[in-house]
């Protein structure tokens, strides 16, 4: 193993790396005050595996350092093949062994972070020198991959702990993901916290519930003691996230609507996206989905706003149905001049005005329900979320 420099860091005199690590272990920094490392078992979550080369051949097997799909149009592919050795010659089979049904594989153009593919795994088979992955879902962004394109591969080891923050200094990409396996209390390993108020509380589902397809879920309850009961899932970062500062931002939420929807006598509002400060019935700075029965006939709204009453909202046309799961996704372009909203992989709105971008505006990942009228408890469920951002320095 050879320690390499040239990553843009200064002042590192020596890196002490012990040579007694076991197969599959990873290096962990032991202290913030020095550069001593030790070998430890991997914690799971999102792990960067290195660089592969994309190949346009639509058959197996992939050669060493190669990734292939069974369709030249990746969005239409149903199978992905990835060699267990990356383009640098490193065997990463122990990390590929972490993958399970529902895990994610993120492939990004090393030279252009706007070009990437996100794959959800339906099945995975060990074929000896490579893995055959049946794709449950695939999303592609930007320009299509070309022959021998160098791509960074990042995986989510869902069999270990699908809650982690990830930063890749080589590609300037930040990624945070959670499947909400931890109990909904206090600060979480994935960088979020539960904030109940005025009788609101978080919970885990009670039977009967579809734990097979949605194994990690938090319920967000308004409670039955206050007409203003509410509960938030907020990211912990003190200064918040900035959008439109040179890199794209993309986030997604797997969200189940409450079993009883909002009405004139039991009214509530649900939001999922980025926001600064949230008030019971108004937004300050935000990029978010919103549901309320007296807004657009109970359909999902896409909203961008820079101040109270200064916002642009678009009716997505998608009616909120009780107990139904939705995948809500938002993408902000690198310049912060356009925001596109997706529901269940379909683009439903694009907003180009009132976008709260720039370094002067910090936002939190914010998923919440707030009661506006009535004392009845109402509770949506949040199944998972991800947040991706290309970081410029």
- Considering only residues 221 and 207, tell me which one the structure prediction assigns the higher pLDDT: 221
Question: What is the average per-residue pLDDT within 161-176?
Answer: 43
For the stretch 185-200, pLDDT in tens is 654 545 677 788 888 8
Question: What is the average per-residue pLDDT within 30-52?
Answer: 56
pLDDT bin (cut points 50, 70, 90) of residue 243 is confident
H/E stretch holding 95: helix 93-96
pLDDT bin (cut points 50, 70, 90) of residue 164 is very low
Closest alpha carbon to 307 in 341, 340, 354? 354
Contact 270, 371 (CB under 8 A): no
Q: So what's the pLDDT on residue 102?
A: 75
pLDDT bin (cut points 50, 70, 90) of residue 23 is very low
Task: Look up the pTM and report it.
Answer: 0.59
d(C-alpha 244, C-alpha 316), whole Å: 23
Q: 163 by DSSP, 3-state: which?
A: strand
For the stretch 254-307, pLDDT in tens is 889 999 999 999 999 999 998 886 555 567 889 999 999 998 999 999 999 998
- pLDDT above 70 (res 180): no
CB neighbours of residue 90 within 10 Å:
12
* CB neighbour list of residue 210: distance below 8 Å, 6 or more residues apart: none
Contact 84, 129 (CB under 8 A): yes
- Name the one residue in this structure whose structure tokens are 């913030």: 32
Domains contained in the chain, CATH given = 1-41 (no CATH), 45-161 (2.40.30), 178-390 (2.60.120.200)
* CB neighbour list of residue 31: distance below 8 Å, 6 or more residues apart: none
Q: So what's the pLDDT on residue 177?
A: 60
- pLDDT above 50 (res 47): yes
Q: 18 by DSSP, 3-state: which?
A: coil
Prior bond of 123 cis (ω within 30°):
no
- pLDDT above 50 (res 15): no
Structure tokens at 10: 């200064």
Q: So what's the pLDDT on residue 359?
A: 80
- Considering only residues 328 and 214, tell me which one the structure prediction assigns the higher pLDDT: 328
- Considering only residues 18 and 164, tell me which one the structure prediction assigns the higher pLDDT: 18
Mean pLDDT over the full length of the chain: 77
Q: So what's the pLDDT on residue 287?
A: 94
């Amino acid at each position: 193993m050879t320690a390499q420099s040239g990553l843009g860091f200064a002042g590192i005199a020596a890196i002490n790396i012990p040579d007694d690590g076991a197969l599959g272990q990873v290096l962990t920094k032991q202290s913030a005050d020095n550069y001593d490392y030790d070998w430890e078992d991997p914690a799971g979550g999102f792990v960067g595996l290195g660089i592969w080369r994309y190949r346009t051949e639509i058959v197996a097997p992939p050669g060493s350092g190669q990734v292939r799909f069974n369709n030249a149009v990746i969005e239409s592919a149903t199978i992905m093949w990835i060699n267990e050795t990356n383009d640098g010659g490193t065997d990463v089979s122990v990390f590929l062994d972490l993958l399970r049904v529902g895990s994610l594989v993120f492939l990004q153009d090393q030279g252009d972070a706007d070009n990437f593919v996100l794959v959800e795994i339906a099945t995975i088979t060990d074929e000896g020198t490579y893995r055959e992955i049946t794709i449950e879902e695939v999303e592609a962004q930007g320009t299509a991959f070309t022959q021998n394109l160098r791509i960074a591969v990042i995986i989510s080891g869902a069999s270990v702990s699908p809650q982690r923050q990830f930063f890749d200094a080589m590609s300037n990409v930040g990624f945070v993901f959670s499947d909400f396996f931890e109990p909904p209390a206090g600060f979480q390993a994935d960088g979020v916290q539960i904030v109940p108020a005025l009788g609101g509380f978080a919970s885990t589902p009670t039977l009967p519930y579809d734990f097979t397809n949605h194994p990690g879920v938090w319920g967000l309850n308004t409670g039955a003691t206050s007409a203003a009961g509410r509960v938030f899932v907020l990211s912990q970062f003190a200064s918040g996230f900035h959008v439109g500062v040179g890199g794209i931002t993309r986030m997604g939420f797997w969200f189940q609507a409450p079993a009883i929807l909002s009405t004139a006598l039991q009214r509530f509002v649900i939001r999922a996206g980025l926001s600064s400060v949230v008030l019971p019935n108004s937004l300050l700075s935000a990029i978010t989905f919103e549901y309320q029965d007296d807004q657009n006939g109970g359909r999902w709204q896409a909203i961008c706003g820079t101040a109270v009453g200064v916002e642009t909202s678009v009716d997505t046309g998608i009616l909120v149905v009780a107990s139904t799961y939705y995948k809500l996704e938002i993408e902000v372009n690198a310049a912060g001049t356009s925001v596109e909203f997706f529901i269940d992989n379909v683009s439903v709105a694009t907003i180009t005005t009132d976008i709260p971008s720039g370094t002067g505006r910090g936002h939190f990942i914010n998923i919440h329900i707030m009661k506006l009228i009535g004392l009845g408890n109402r509770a949506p469920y949040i199944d998972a979320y991800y947040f991706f951002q290309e970081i410029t320095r």
